[in-house]
Amino acid sequence: MYFYLKKLSLLKKFCIQVYFLTPIVIMKFGGSCLIDKSAFNRILEIIKIYKNEKKIIVTSAFNGITDLLLNTARNVNNPNVLDDNMAVLENKHFNTIEQIFDEDSEPFLKAKIWVDKKLSELEDTFADIKEFGLEPYYQDYVLSFGEILSTYILNQYLISKELDSVYIPANKLIITNDEFNNAYPFYEFTNQRVQELLIPMLENPQKDTIICITGFIGRNKIGYTTTLGRGGSDYSATILAHSIYETAEDKNIKVILWKDVDGLMAINPKYIPKSTLIRSLDYKEAKHIANFGAKILHPKCLEAIEKLKIPIELRNFSNPLEKIEFTEISEHTDKNEIKGISTVEDAVIITIVSGSLVDVPGVLAKIFKVMSKNKISVSLVAQSASEISTSFIVKEDESKRAVEALYNSGYFSDFFEIKSEQVAIINITGFKILENSTKVKIFQALEKKDIHVKALTQSTEELNLSLVVSRRDVINAIAIFHDDLCEDFEHKLNNNNKMELCRSNTN
Ligand code: ASP
Ligand code: MG
């Protein structure tokens, strides 16, 4: 009897789960997906495509609004700028409202009242900034208005189309540390809020509520609004995916970032116009490519979902029905492929040479302490095992400061020689880089064009090779890599196309 009851209750639980649980999709729409009536319409079409999923929509501010807010906050003492910017803010939002809603409908009025109310709160904040100065807290608070306006308008738009939708400002959900302008989430607290606020809606079989959440913003423990870094709405989407995964019954979760391109390209089309799309890659590969690529995705977005293996798709907003031309980042990858070649062109390599570096503990620490004190970010680092010299890369616009800071530090004086040179970095990413034969091809290709590599590194993660070359060599290097390594790239096209691609680029 006991077993029978236990079985029955298990069966009931199973049935409830199967019946209730629906896959969840978290979609992020950036400012370029909210530009006019047809863009809002396209969001409706996309919602229809995902009719079988529970939907969370994360929204960025309208195009250009975050920059405008920042500019205003920095110019509160200039009444002309303040007035002009407030007028632009008002016009941009009211114009959209007038385009997308039927005049005098309830959502139209609600959206208008919302914008009025928020803009007056914003004005009060500008007055505070004028009085107290632009503290980091104020900056984040001001920037949060972009998403608070856009997301509410989208939410009312969905309601006006007879969809069930709620608006939730992310500072009710995402709890962060105190690092204003670049905050990190505390998952423990965020999970709890997600569980309380979102899960009941997501697991309600009776209702198909579309949950509209502001991107980019969170709050710290004492309730101050924080922001997750510029372009942070993608991060909001993956943070929410993380917390939903950890709290929902069903782990069938996917993130879609709607972009104005198909996804990540194997090579920047600026160099190779016929470059192909990377259709699938894993988190590690994506982190390398995302970091150097056309800033389509920030690596921290991937960190939020990598361990949980939540897949993320980058899709073209103008082509929502596309079946294959998009990028999927997941735990799966073909290890026999080079995924992409990316470049950093505004790099400067700083080299410190000295016999005094040999076998002295803490020299590297000293170098990087100077950089960190001056808030200069260091990317590639190369040191020969002989320790005679150390080279590292900084961004061009920080390089002068970096060299001066080293000289002024008092440590790197007479016994050290400090050199700097403008360079570019070429990164070749993919598991295939592991193979000696790939490296042979790379260096044979460089040899053909007489291109000299000034420094190089390969991470222990083994899937990225970074080559430092002269800036004038970049175009040639990429062209020859593309031609000579063509066969190693991911081309899920059929073989004919693949041949075509190789041929067209060797011409
Ligand atoms: N609106 C913010 C920005 O422009 C966040 C985002 O767009 O993702 O940085
Ligand atoms: Mg933006």
Interval 18-47 mean pLDDT? 91
CA-proximal residue: ligand 1, atom 7 (nearest)? 231
Neighbour count for residue 369 (Cβ, 10 Å) = 13
Per-residue pLDDT band for 13 (boundaries 50, 70, 90) equals: low
CB 245 within 8 A of CB 253: yes
Which two structure tokens, joined as six digits, stand for 346?
């505004």
Between the CA of 99 and the centroid of ligand 1 the distance, in Å, is 23
Alpha carbons 501 and 355: distance in angstroms, whole number: 50
Whether 300 shows a pLDDT value over 50: the answer reads yes
DSSP 430: S
Between the CA of 453 and the centroid of ligand 1 the distance, in Å, is 37
Bigger pLDDT: 379 vs 5: 379
347: Cβ contacts below 8 Å, ≥ 6 apart:
379, 393, 394, 395, 396, 422, 423, 424, 425, 468
Whether 495 shows a pLDDT value over 50: the answer reads no
CA angle (194 as vertex; 326, 17 as ends), nearest 5? 80
Between the CA of 148 and the centroid of ligand 2 the distance, in Å, is 13
Task: Give me the pLDDT at residue 3, please.
Answer: 55
Residues 108-136: tens digit of each pLDDT: 999 999 999 999 999 999 999 999 999 99
Which two structure tokens, joined as six digits, stand for 201?
């809606």
Which two structure tokens, joined as six digits, stand for 83?
């007035």
Mean pLDDT of the chain: 90
Which two structure tokens, joined as six digits, stand for 315?
């899709």
Task: Give me the pLDDT at residue 357, please.
Answer: 64
Per-residue pLDDT band for 8 (boundaries 50, 70, 90) equals: low
Between the CA of 48 and the centroid of ligand 1 the distance, in Å, is 26
Bigger pLDDT: 415 vs 240: 240
Name the E strands within 305-401: 312-316, 327-330, 340-353, 378-383, 389-395
111: Cβ contacts below 8 Å, ≥ 6 apart:
97, 101, 152, 153, 156, 157
Ligand 1 atom at minimum distance from 147 CA: 1
Instruction: Calculate the alpha carbon distances from 156 to 55, 153, 196, 233 in Å.
Output: 16, 5, 23, 20
Whether 458 shows a pLDDT value over 60: the answer reads yes
Residues 248-266: tens digit of each pLDDT: 998 999 999 999 999 988 8
Per-residue pLDDT band for 294 (boundaries 50, 70, 90) equals: low
Interval 338-367 mean pLDDT? 84
157 φ, ψ to 5°?
-60, -45
How many helices (H) and strands (E) the chain has is answered by 16, 16
Task: Give me the pLDDT at residue 500, please.
Answer: 45
Residues 149-183: tens digit of each pLDDT: 999 999 999 999 999 999 999 999 999 999 999 99
Helix (H, G, I), strand (E, B), or coil: what is residue 65? helix
- Residues near ligand 1 (Cβ within 6 A): 30-31, 60-61, 66, 146, 215-216, 230-233
Query: Pick from 45, 492, 52, 489: which is nearest to 258 by CA?
Result: 45
Between the CA of 218 and the centroid of ligand 1 the distance, in Å, is 13
Ligand 1 atom at minimum distance from 31 CA: 7
Task: Give me the pLDDT at residue 416, please.
Answer: 81
Task: Give me the pLDDT at residue 411, please.
Answer: 80
Task: Give me the pLDDT at residue 306, please.
Answer: 96
Residues 34-64: tens digit of each pLDDT: 999 999 999 999 999 999 999 999 999 999 9
Mutation probe of ligand 1 site: the residue of 145, 233, 301 with most atoms within 8 A of C-beta: 233
Residue 316 CA to its chain's centroid (Å): 15
426 half-sphere exposure, CB direction, 13 A CA radius = 28
Whether 293 shows a pLDDT value over 80: the answer reads no
Alpha carbons 501 and 492: distance in angstroms, whole number: 12
Alpha carbons 47 and 158: distance in angstroms, whole number: 10
Burial of 373 (C-beta count, 10 Å sphere; 0-12/13-18/19+): exposed
Name the E strands within 443-502: 455-458, 464-469
Residues 81-91: tens digit of each pLDDT: 999 999 999 99
Which two structure tokens, joined as six digits, stand for 391?
């080279």
Which two structure tokens, joined as six digits, stand for 484?
């000579």
Whether 12 shows a pLDDT value over 70: the answer reads no
Per-residue pLDDT band for 20 (boundaries 50, 70, 90) equals: low
61: Cβ contacts below 8 Å, ≥ 6 apart:
31, 69, 145, 146, 147, 149, 150, 216
Alpha carbons 103 and 40: distance in angstroms, whole number: 16
> Residue 425's beta-bridge partner residues?
344, 468
Alpha carbons 189 and 168: distance in angstroms, whole number: 17
Interval 480-494 mean pLDDT? 71
Whether 494 shows a pLDDT value over 80: the answer reads no
Per-residue pLDDT band for 290 (boundaries 50, 70, 90) equals: confident
Whether 507 shows a pLDDT value over 60: the answer reads no
Interval 406-427 mean pLDDT? 87
Whether 274 shows a pLDDT value over 90: the answer reads no
Q: Please, what are the domains in the chain? A: 13-259 (3.40.1160.10), 340-503 (3.30.2130.10)
Task: Give me the pLDDT at residue 502, please.
Answer: 47
Mutation probe of ligand 1 site: the residue of 66, 71, 140, 234 with most atoms within 8 A of C-beta: 66
Q: Which of 19-33, 405-419, 447-461, 483-497 has the lowest mean pLDDT?
A: 483-497
Q: Which of 31-40, 87-96, 379-388 has the lowest mean pLDDT?
A: 379-388
Instruction: Calculate the alpha carbon distances from 302 to 24, 208, 286, 460, 464 in Å.
Output: 18, 28, 8, 19, 17
Query: How much of the chain exceeds pLDDT 70, in percent?
Result: 90
Task: Give me the pLDDT at residue 254, please.
Answer: 97
Residues 302-328: tens digit of each pLDDT: 999 999 999 999 999 999 999 999 999
Rounded to a whole number of angstroms, the distance between the first and last alpha carbons of the chain is 79
Between the CA of 222 and the centroid of ligand 1 the distance, in Å, is 23
Per-residue pLDDT band for 354 (boundaries 50, 70, 90) equals: confident
Q: Which of 9-13, 44-48, 201-205 has the lowest mean pLDDT?
A: 9-13
Mutation probe of ligand 1 site: the residue of 35, 216, 217 with most atoms within 8 A of C-beta: 216
Helix (H, G, I), strand (E, B), or coil: what is residue 288? helix
Query: How much of the chain exceeds pLDDT 90, in percent?
Result: 71
Q: Torsion over CA of 354, 355, 361 and 365, rounded to 10 degrees? A: 0
Task: Give me the pLDDT at residue 491, please.
Answer: 52
Instruction: Calculate the alpha carbon distances from 23 to 17, 177, 224, 258, 502 in Å.
Output: 12, 30, 33, 19, 40
